[in-house]
A = this chain, B = another copy of it.
Amino acid sequence: MRIDRTTVAEVGEHALIARIRARLTPRPWVVVGPGDDAAVVAPVRGSLDVLTTDALVEGVHFDRRFCPPEAIGHKALAVNLSDLAAMGAAPRAALLSLVLPDDFAVADLDALADGFVALADRYQVAVVGGNITRSPGPLVVDVTAVGAVGSRRILRRSGARPGDEVFVTGSVGAGAAGLQALRAAAVEAGSQPGGSNAAGVMHALPASIRAAAERYLRPEPRVRAGLMLGRNRAATACMDLSDGLADGLRQIAAESGVGMAIEGTALPIDGDVVRWFEQQCADPPIAALAGGDDYELVFTCRPAHRGRVRAVRTLVGSLPITKIGVVTKGPGMVLRIGAGERELPPGFEHFR
């Protein structure tokens, strides 16, 4: 197979923008799409606009040795849709801002755009604009996502009250375990930094940890769960997990002025992920709490509103929703494991 290594510098900005625009699906709420000075979008009548931005930076958030460009495009949008979901918002539009190294391959840009647009199409998100510019350093994929939410359905971080129950969607720890496994496999496969051998790295992974690696590479934003939590007014507070469950719990507690007591044995951790952490001599609940990249929703609920959580469960299909603890008067953040109690591990912070 002949691999086309034409670079973005050889093709030029206008041609690159045309390649991305050719992939986009028109949506009826877009009045002016890409190609003008700005996009024009009709808001949802009676709803509020929800705005979020999040960037993925090469060497900080992803490693091209084991992150294929299509996964980078997927994830750049997914992390933003996850933020909208955490507000109870329906996603509507996205802007894609790319800072590209001169030697970035056009084929890789196509794949990145494919991953981005495929996820956008799955949630009927209109890609309304963006920006392409050169980078004298790393690849940066910066995305802004816009959603809509009714004023009485907004999910905030600040509403948790003592006595509320704490829930998390899906499972935790897979993002961290998947990243660890991919890093180890990349070293084993002898990939050079900068070069991409993502297929070879995936092949070198033990089969048992591939699902977790997949979760790390292509997280699924919990769009429907967030929407249903808002519509059913089931949650007193909600946020999404990007920097780990411990970080999420701490942020809700801080914004709400409460504490939390989390049951280590209640954490939903997949069996393969438990075994991976044990092989790494890590305590699975601690590793799952500290690790990032899960993009699940964590939320709190009044005990009297348990029925609302049950209703949301039936609406989100196969996605588990698990009770993991309770909100306390605080301010302590406690983790109960077996008979003992300990302080919840800290979350991840950039620059630290």
Contact = CB atoms under 8 A, between A and B. Distances in A.
A295 to B, nearest CB: 11
Contact of A9 (B43, B128, B145, B351): B351
A290 to B, nearest CB: 16
A146 B14 CA distance: 24
A333 interface: no
A133 B48 contact: no
A302 B60 CA distance: 52
A177 interface: no
16 contacts: A12-B352, A31-B48, A37-B84, A38-B86, A38-B145, A39-B52, A40-B48, A40-B49, A49-B146, A53-B95, A54-B131, A57-B99, A57-B136, A58-B136, A132-B350, A134-B351
B53 A48 contact: no
A343 interface: no
Contacts of A83: 37-38
Contacts of A43: 43, 48-49
Give 9 closest A-B pairs by Cβ, nearest first: A137-B137, A38-B52, A37-B86, A59-B136, A13-B350, A144-B144, A43-B43, A37-B83, A53-B95
A32 B135 contact: no
Contact of A144 (B41, B53, B138): B53
A180 interface: no
A51 B144 contact: yes
A344 interface: no
A140 interface: yes
Stoichiometry, copies per complex: 2
A156 B36 contact: yes
Interface residues of A, number: 72
A67 to B, nearest CB: 15
A189 interface: no
A175 interface: no
Contact of A51 (B86, B128, B240): B128
A119 interface: no
Contacts of A12: 349-352
A142 interface: yes
Contact of A41 (B16, B49, B54, B135): B49
Interface stretch (A69-77, A147-155, A304-312): A147-155
A87 interface: yes
